[in-house]
Amino acid sequence: GIQVEQSPPDLILQEGANSTLRCNFSDSVNNLQWFHQNPWGQLINLFYIPSGTKQNGRLSATTVATERYSLLYISSSQTTDSGVYFCAVEANTGGFKAIFGAGTRLFVKA
């Protein structure tokens, strides 16, 4: 089945810093989503981005489907950005299921 790899696995930032999280996938996909898992365990939808670029406030994401990767940019990080960021893809080989990467654990220091 499709493989989803995220990097880096862990990231520590000073408040105000910028960062880029990466998601690589091994096969063509129908869709790709980025989630933030907050300290209470909730999965918050950030972006639905099978291709192209989207921005929402300090966050933006780019997916280059032909090269099988997506990037999540966090600018001017805040302590509330801490948590785990997951990329999830739905393979274009039939079936409706999201395959998650292992996540990037982000800690933003005040």
Partner 1 sequence: EPEVTQTPSHQVTQMGQEVILRCVPISNHLYFYWYRQILGQKVEFLVSFYNNEISEKSEIFDDQFSVERPDGSNFTLKIRSTKLEDSAMYFCASSGTGQDEQYFGPGTRLTVT
Residues lying near partner 1 in the complex (CB under 8 A) are found at 30-31, 33, 35, 40-43, 45, 48, 86, 88, 90, 95-103
Q: Please identify, using beta-carbon distances, which residue of 68 and 105 lies nearer to partner 1.
A: 105
CB of 13 to partner 1, least distance (A): 21
CB of 86 to partner 1, least distance (A): 7
In 1-110, DSSP assigns E strands to 4-7, 10-14, 19-25, 29-37, 43-48, 52-56, 59-64, 69-74, 83-91, 99-100, 104-109
Q: Please identify, using beta-carbon distances, which residue of 39 and 110 lies nearer to partner 1.
A: 39
Nearest to 67 by CA among 3, 8, 24: 24
In DSSP terms, 82 is beta-bridged to none
Q: Please identify, using beta-carbon distances, which residue of 41 and 67 lies nearer to partner 1.
A: 41
